[in-house]
Amino acid sequence: AQTVTQSQPEMSVQEAETVTLSCTYDTSESDYYLFWYKQPPSRQMILVIRQEAYKQQNATENRFSVNFQKAAKSFSLKISDSQLGDAAMYFCAYRSARRSGYALNFGKGTSLLVTP
Amino acid sequence: NAGVTQTPKFQVLKTGQSMTLQCAQDMNHNSMYWYRQDPGMGLRLIYYSASEGTTDKGEVPNGYNVSRLNKREFSLRLESAAPSQTSVYFCASSDSFRRSNTEAFFGQGTRLTVV
């Protein structure tokens, strides 16, 4: 099974600053997808950004961008101009493009605190 | 659009009791999943259904059973609840045959406490 590792259980950032959350994964596959999900205190799982492994270009969504390093199996999330509403648990997830069921494998999460 | 709807949102069970968590999606997705979330453990896959009529075990299936009732509905049953099953449960769905929009959509979760 693919393993997803988030090595930072907690991170802190000041409002308006930039923070990077780390994620590494282990796979022997070449075709897969990577995701970052946000879980605020409401418990709802919200997709932040997705990356297809066959695309070399890093995905961006407004203030959120990723640094996808396929050879290094690294997928970090950069949040620019941090806002108080960005405070949440962030999960990195991997999904095979070929295996049956295509279930997401999640890391253990990084809790992001945003200070005024 | 309702998306993925889970019921109930909260539940307290006594050890040994049984219950079924219900999940329905209205996005015509072929694949559905049940996860549990425990502090410091992320989301772990319990069971999944790649398509209507099929179900398979995930990472932590012991103590659970599932039923894919039709394309829309996927239920999770605890036959004899144990305190170790105290957790937050999420149902999710995805359209796993498409190359685009490949993410999973989640329900709001069920907080289950077994005493």
Residue range A85-99: mean pLDDT, rounded: 92
Q: Which residues of B touch A1 (CB under 8 A)?
A: 59
B84/B82 Cα distance (integer angstroms) = 5
pLDDT at B95: 85
For B114, residues 6+ apart whose C-beta sits below 8 A from its C-beta are B12, B13, B14, B15, B81, B82, B83, B84, B85, B86
**Candidates B40, B94, B106; nearest CB to A45:** B106
Residue range A35-46: mean pLDDT, rounded: 96
pLDDT at A103: 87
Q: Is B11 helix (H, G, I), strand (E, B) or coil?
A: strand
B23/B114 Cα distance (integer angstroms) = 20
B23/B49 Cα distance (integer angstroms) = 12
Q: Which residues of A touch B58 (CB under 8 A)?
A: 103
Residue-wise pLDDT tens for chain B (115 aa)? 679 999 999 999 999 999 999 999 999 999 999 999 998 889 999 999 988 989 999 999 999 999 999 999 999 999 999 999 999 999 999 987 666 657 899 999 999 999 9
A90/B42 Cα distance (integer angstroms) = 10
For A57, residues 6+ apart whose C-beta sits below 8 A from its C-beta are none
**Candidates B40, B50, B94; nearest CB to A100:** B50
Instruction: Name the one residue in this structure whose structure tokens are 């425990």.
Output: B38
**Candidates A43, A91, A105; nearest CB to B108:** A43
Do A77 and A21 contact (CB within 8 A), yes or no? yes
Size of interface A-B (CB pairs under 8 A): 62
Summarize pLDDT for A50-90 with one digit per residue, the tens. 999 988 899 999 999 999 999 999 999 999 999 999 999 99
Contact between chains at B43 and A91 (C-beta distance less than 8 A):
yes
Instruction: Name the one residue in this structure whose structure tokens are 């709001």.
Output: B108
Asked if pLDDT for residue A101 goes beyond 90, the answer is no
State which amino acid sits at residue A100. Answer: S
pLDDT at A55: 87
Contact between chains at A43 and B88 (C-beta distance less than 8 A):
yes
Asked if pLDDT for residue A105 goes beyond 90, the answer is yes
Q: Which residues of B touch A91 (CB under 8 A)?
A: 42-43
